[in-house]
Amino acid sequence: MQIELLVFEGCPNLEPARELLQAGMASLGIAGEVREIWVETPEAARQWEFPGSPTLRVNGEDVAPLPEAFEPALGCRTYVVQGRRQGLPDAAWVLEALRKAQDAEAHACCTPLAKPRTAASCPACGAEGKPVKPVTLRALLHPHLRAEVRDEVYRFCASPDCALVYFSADGSQTFARADLTVRVGVKERSGPRPLCYCFGHSAESIRNEWATTRKSTVIDAIKAEVKAGTCHCEVTNPGGGCCLGDITKEVKALTANPVAPASAQDCCAPSKPTCC
């Protein structure tokens, strides 16, 4: 998420604008820095299409309606809020712009990241890491660690026997299983082993359904939810993407080595010897 504050030197509303942005980000749990752009010349004002100081933008979009037919120029900007003119945009506008950008990031959950030009290997086990956006780490790490997440692509280590979960491309920063607020299903050896974090499916629930009905409906159920746009894998799944790969692997392993239903096991179980 790109958050920008455009101002000129000496703007009397610079500090209040900073505080307004920081308050909005804090209320939504958004980490990161605000990029301050200093507009100091008429040429720069035209370059940035500067409607006045201060101007707040999120992902390139102004948080407030732009003045009609404005001419970019160095000058103070005022905002009409509930019929009154003031030097800052309404806090509700800022929150809405931030929330909209946050939702856009969350709904990009099934859009894979481009693979890095060079594969980054886990510094602990040597396995190749899967690219993961920083929004995933900021959503799933314990609160005191979220500020340490940098604005760069991290890697997810899916190796079951490795204690590390995330590492930076250069290997200088790592996060282990204990640093997350959720269990990492692909690394767990005992239940519960969550696999679908949006809709609560685990390895155990999949096996229980199979043992009872001799079939699995989980893949079709998740596909229907994905089609309906109700998944948020990027901020719920430690792997940072769609869980269908892990779910499909679990179902295939189950059907390849089926476990007889409890009823079938009971009917064939030898009866207990009676006392003579």
- Where in the sequence is the domain holding 236, given as residue range(s)? 186-256
* 9: helix, strand or coil: coil
Does 218 fall in a domain? yes
The structure tokens listed for 94 are 């800022």
The structure tokens listed for 255 are 């059907």
Q: How far apart are CA 61 and CA 51, in angstroms?
A: 13
Contact (Cβ atoms closer than 8 angstroms) between residue 106 and residue 235: yes
**Burial of 60: CB neighbours in 10 Å, binned 0-12, 13-18, 19+:** exposed
What pTM did the predictor assign? 0.52
φ, ψ at 241 (rounded to 5°):
-155, -170
Is pLDDT of 200 > 50?
A: yes
| End-of-domain residue from the set 71, 106, 141 | 106
pLDDT at 248: 87
62-71, 114-123, 164-173, 198-207: which has the minimum mean pLDDT?
A: 114-123
The tens digit of pLDDT for each residue in 217-265 reads 999 998 888 778 788 888 999 999 888 888 888 888 887 775 544 443 4
pLDDT at 197: 94
| End-of-domain residue from the set 106, 122, 143 | 106
pLDDT at 58: 92
For residue 60, name the pLDDT band (cuts at 50, 70, 90): confident
10 plus 101 within the same structural domain: yes
pLDDT at 26: 86
Is pLDDT of 29 > 90?
A: no
User: How many independent structural domains does the chain possess?
Assistant: 2
Q: How far apart are CA 63 and CA 254, in angstroms?
A: 51
Does 147 fall in a domain? no
For residue 112, name the pLDDT band (cuts at 50, 70, 90): low
Does 227 fall in a domain? yes
Does 243 fall in a domain? yes
pLDDT at 118: 46
pLDDT at 272: 44
The tens digit of pLDDT for each residue in 134-184 reads 999 999 999 999 999 998 889 999 999 999 999 998 888 999 999 999 999
% of the chain at pLDDT higher than 90: 42
Contact (Cβ atoms closer than 8 angstroms) between residue 201 and residue 237: no
pLDDT at 275: 43
Is pLDDT of 215 > 70?
A: yes
pLDDT at 241: 85
Contact (Cβ atoms closer than 8 angstroms) between residue 202 and residue 251: no
Helix intervals (H) in the chain: 14-27, 42-47, 91-106, 134-140, 143-146, 203-213, 218-228, 233-236, 244-256, 262-268
* 201: helix, strand or coil: strand
Contact (Cβ atoms closer than 8 angstroms) between residue 232 and residue 106: yes
Does 176 fall in a domain? no
Q: How far apart are CA 177 and CA 192, in angstroms?
A: 15
Q: Are strands 154-156 and 130-132 parallel, antiparallel or unpaired?
A: antiparallel
Does 114 fall in a domain? no
CA dist 6 to 26, 75, 112, Å?
Answer: 20, 12, 32
Read off the CATH number of the domain in which 19 is found: 3.40.30
pLDDT, mean over the chain:
84
Does 43 fall in a domain? yes
Does 138 fall in a domain? no
* 274: helix, strand or coil: coil
98 plus 193 within the same structural domain: no
